[in-house]
A and B are shown apart, each in its own frame.
Chain A
Amino acid sequence: MDFSYDDEQNALRDAVKGLVGKQYADWEKRRQTAAEDPGFDEKLWTQMAEMGLLGLPFSEDDGGVGAGPVEIGIVCRELGRVLAPEPYLGSVVYAGGLVAAVGTPEQRQEILGALSGGESVLAFAHDEPGHRWGPEAHDVTADGEGRLTGVKDGVLHGARADVLVVSAVLPDGGTGLFLVTDGGGERTGYSTPDGGRAARITFDSTPATPLGAAAADVTSSIATVQDITRIMAANQALGAMQTQLKATVDYLKSRKQFGVTLNTFQALNFRAADMYTSQELTHSLVDWATMVVAAGDPTKVADAAARVGLQVSRAGRHVGQEAIQLHGGIAMTAEYNVGTFTAHLTALDHLLGDAGHHLRTLDAQLTSYDAIDPLDVAATA
């Protein structure tokens, strides 16, 4: 058992930090990038491709690098640390993960090869108005000829995406996946509260190609990719929390009120200590869940995703809210970054399920075991 990165993983972290951290060390630059279409830096996206980051999760046969979840987690954590707006989570981890899980060999090579090379952005069009989280499609339907009808909303980078992976109810029931290319669907792009990008997409007998050999019910594959994405989102959230705590500590040490620095006041220091406690407990669970993905059992990945989701939701709100309160009014401004980090934590919290959602999942299995053994997960590795 080992919770530390090896030399190669440390080198990867340093490289990502060098590239992305440098780019967004200047908060004003991040704000400008997020404000202009497509909401991220295409040049940086290309550099990430050149560094091999976009192909990390995919096999070499599919044009990727064939790295593991720990490496993907490292990238997500570093992106979260600087609030990089590049669509890594939505495009590579989420939509790319589905293509890798369900696509035919030809589809995987073509789509994942282009994604890994930075030539193509993917988006998973799944959430629908009026429905909360889950792996199923509800009101978007596929007819027998693979034409899609219905509305998707909150599609991360849906306006910019070259390839849409779309979930839809199949004629015989169940949820299938389809590819929509060539700008298909009527797309309305907008900014999310954390300065990200998403879109509402309307399909009206829009032509689509089944992802995979046939339009089979792939609900369980979607569920597993969602679980992995939750765990990678948790890595991203942890990076954001680490930055917020550091910023808060620096602020308490430097900001003067009543003629003294704020860290003269024990009440404030104790609240920072509680933020640290939240952050460290989260760090442990995030590392654990990432290692559970590496072990590979989907049932255990689902359990770990719910557990890390619950923890990150609670801790993210705690750290995010306290970071603003301890900074005072300055954190309310867009010019200062702390508030936007809280907005990002809030967005991640609602992307794939908040604390209540995960609590219900865990509640359903509560009586099936007596106590949790976190090392038991490794037995299947």
Chain B
Amino acid sequence: MQLALSEEDQQFREEMRSYFTTKVSEEIRTTVAEGRELTREQIVQSMQELNAGGLAVPHWPEEWGGRGWSELKRHIWHEEMQAACVPVPLAFNASMIGPVIAQFGTDEQKQEFLPKTANLDIWWSQGFSEPDAGSDLASLRTTAVLDGDDWVVNGQKTWTTLGQYGDWIFTLVRTDPEVKKQAGISMLLIDMKSEGLEVRPIELIDGGHEVNEVWFTDVRVPAKNMVGEVNSGWTQAKFLLGNERVGVAPVGATKRVLARAKEVAAATIAEDPLFRARIVELENELLALELTALRVAAHSAGGEPHPASSVLKLKGTELQQAVSELVVDLGGPATLASGEGDATLAWYRRSTPTYLNLRKASIYGGSNEIQRQIISRGILGL
């Protein structure tokens, strides 16, 4: 056992720190530090600034921009990025559809989509969930029927995050209603400008517009836009969701918010031992989580995920939520106001929407109940 990073990893950490703090727009990083909402342009710009340095998709195959890093390097990259208030690469592109196309796509699909996906020239949306298919994804009902050289898609997707910005959407569709439900699903890439495709906003409890419904009415999709064979979509979905669980514990970002809370609320904290106790507990739990992430990263050389990795999503989102709850409580009456104010007040005014918005964290990406199911069944054998 050895706590120190190797000289090489230490140097790598410094390189990352230096790149993130000098090559990514300061205005974007300030927006993140102050907890304000990023615009579409800012998200695109920051991903392109990362891509310019080869830091947008380091886990992809090397011929498509991957870097062949160890898990530990990837962990360091991810944590330093968050510590520097750099938005992480858009997950739909970098973590979800990119690796799927690289693994299952045709040569033509790879050439067409991967460079644009890495550089966020195409903004991808995710079309998986439906009103009756959430955690039970295989129950989805959106259909695709072959008509000549096109699939004709009908149905409805929901919870399409940032769908209002999307250029293309990767979808799971039912191509065979007669077989076992997992066996009749395919994956289609659909241009969101297609006729018959409509994006409708869903207003959320934080007052924001983050998710959408996407409706398909006789949308024609060229057959060449299917990823993998017909009816093999469940394989691609499992691959994608497996990737989604990597880097799911936003330790760096949560630590940053907690540190900022100590700074902003110094006067309140100094006067209130109960707040201090909560902060000590949260810092300690975050430390245990960060060390678990390091333990998992340092141990992942063999390809098999470390069993403790299942803890990361579960505990990571609980702590992310708990820190957002602390911030609202620190703000007290200041959190009731809305609109602009000085920097401190503005931070508090965004705290309730943030707290409410983060309730999603224990629901998406495999709800925390699903994570407990994975631990109890997959690891403990119950």
A-B contact number at CB 8 A: 158
- Asked if A15 is at the interface of the complex by the 8 Å CB criterion, the answer is no
Q: Does B3 lie within 8 Å of A70, measured CB to CB? A: no
Instruction: Give Cα distance in the complex from A249 to B1, angstroms.
Output: 29
Q: Does A2 lie within 8 Å of B298, measured CB to CB? A: yes
Q: Does A276 lie within 8 Å of B311, measured CB to CB? A: yes
Q: Could you tell me which residues of chain A, from 224 to 280, have a CB within 8 Å of some CB in chain B?
A: 249, 252-253, 263, 266, 269-270, 272-274, 276-277, 280
- Asked if A374 is at the interface of the complex by the 8 Å CB criterion, the answer is yes
Interface size of B by Cβ–Cβ distance < 8 Å? 54
- Asked if B376 is at the interface of the complex by the 8 Å CB criterion, the answer is yes
Q: Could you tell me which residues of chain B, from 292 to 331, have a CB within 8 Å of some CB in chain A?
A: 292, 294-295, 298-299, 307-308, 311, 314-315
Q: Does A367 lie within 8 Å of B269, measured CB to CB? A: yes
- Asked if A336 is at the interface of the complex by the 8 Å CB criterion, the answer is no
Look across to chain A and name the residue whose beta carbon is closest to the beta carbon of B13: A375
Instruction: Give Cα distance in the complex from A311 to B289, angstroms.
Output: 11
User: Nearest Cβ distance between residue A17 and chain B, in whole angstroms?
Assistant: 18
Q: Which of B33-41, B115-123, B146-154, B277-285 lies at the interface?
A: B277-285
Q: Known: A276-B311, A288-B291, A370-B262. Contact between A381 and B3, CB under 8 A?
A: yes
Instruction: Give Cα distance in the complex from A355 to B95, angstroms.
Output: 39
User: Nearest Cβ distance between residue A309 and chain B, in whole angstroms?
Assistant: 10
Instruction: Give Cα distance in the complex from A283 to B291, angstroms.
Output: 9
Q: Does B1 lie within 8 Å of A290, measured CB to CB? A: yes
Q: Does A2 lie within 8 Å of B308, measured CB to CB? A: no
- Asked if B290 is at the interface of the complex by the 8 Å CB criterion, the answer is yes
User: Nearest Cβ distance between residue A307 and chain B, in whole angstroms?
Assistant: 6
Which chain A positions have C-beta within 8 A of B379? Answer: 276
Interface residues of A, dominant DSSP: helix
- Asked if A362 is at the interface of the complex by the 8 Å CB criterion, the answer is yes
- Asked if B263 is at the interface of the complex by the 8 Å CB criterion, the answer is yes
Look across to chain B and name the residue whose beta carbon is closest to the beta carbon of A275: B380
Q: Does A311 lie within 8 Å of B376, measured CB to CB? A: no
Q: Could you tell me which residues of chain A, from 356 to 381, have a CB within 8 Å of some CB in chain B?
A: 359, 362-363, 366-367, 370-372, 374-375, 377-379, 381
Contacts A4-B1, A370-B259 aside, 18 further interface pairs with beta carbons under 8 A come to A1-B6, A3-B298, A253-B382, A273-B380, A274-B372, A280-B307, A281-B315, A291-B1, A291-B2, A362-B280, A363-B273, A366-B269, A366-B279, A367-B262, A367-B266, A372-B287, A374-B287, A378-B3
- A sample of 29 cross-chain residue pairs with beta-carbon separation below 8 angstroms, ordered by A number, consists of A1-B5, A1-B72, A3-B298, A6-B1, A249-B380, A253-B381, A253-B382, A263-B376, A269-B373, A269-B376, A276-B311, A277-B315, A280-B311, A281-B292, A282-B288, A285-B291, A288-B287, A292-B3, A295-B4, A307-B284, A307-B287, A310-B281, A362-B280, A363-B273, A366-B269, A370-B263, A374-B291, A378-B2, A378-B5
Which of A's residues lie within 8 Å of B, judged by CB? 1-6, 9, 70, 249, 252-253, 263, 266, 269-270, 272-274, 276-277, 280-285, 287-288, 290-292, 294-295, 307, 310-311, 359, 362-363, 366-367, 370-372, 374-375, 377-379, 381
List the 4 closest pairs (A to B, CB-CB), nearest first. Answer: A378-B4, A269-B376, A284-B291, A273-B375
